[in-house]
Amino acid sequence: LGDVYKRQQHDCAIGAQVSYPDLAGFGRRFIDMKPSELTDAVVYQLGALDAFARVKGTRVRYVKPHGALYNAIAEHEGQAAAVVAAVRECDASLPMLGLPNSAVRLACDAAGVRFVAEGFADRAYTADGRLVPRTQAGALITDPLAAATHALALAKSGVESICVPV
């Protein structure tokens, strides 16, 4: 609750970084879940975070899948639809962040959920617009000037939100 309170004090938006139920792997491992089970897992996470936020007089303002789920819903239509269904069930007004030209964007469009195209200042992209896996050389942009130049290029390409590592 302390972090929620600090964010509220400083007028920061609280976002739900939902993931697979993979505590040991910190959500970084793909889990081939049934869509209904994935929807339930995301509803659980959104509901829990929103309850903590409301106790402190604020609320969740957006959803951004984390780790393996973020990457999976770029292409996996069933899982993308399951995550979007969870958002609709909890609060259809919550925007969903994700990769442009992705399955989750199509699922959001079909469900009437606002999609926000996101880019990463510190990550390289493949030719088809996916993130280069962290296990590959050149996946991370570590030079601050190169990351800033990359962020500007992303903004010019139509990306609405840019993730900057802290």
Residue ranges for the chain with pLDDT beneath 70: 1-10
In this prediction the pTM is 0.89
3-state secondary structure of 43: helix
From first CA to last CA, the distance across the chain in angstroms is: 21
Tell me how far CA of residue 58 lies from CA of 9, 53, 115, 136, in angstroms.
Answer: 10, 5, 22, 40
pLDDT at 165: 81
> Token pair of 140, please?
């991370």
d(CA 18, CA 63): 7
Q: How far apart are CA 138 and CA 54, in angstroms?
A: 41
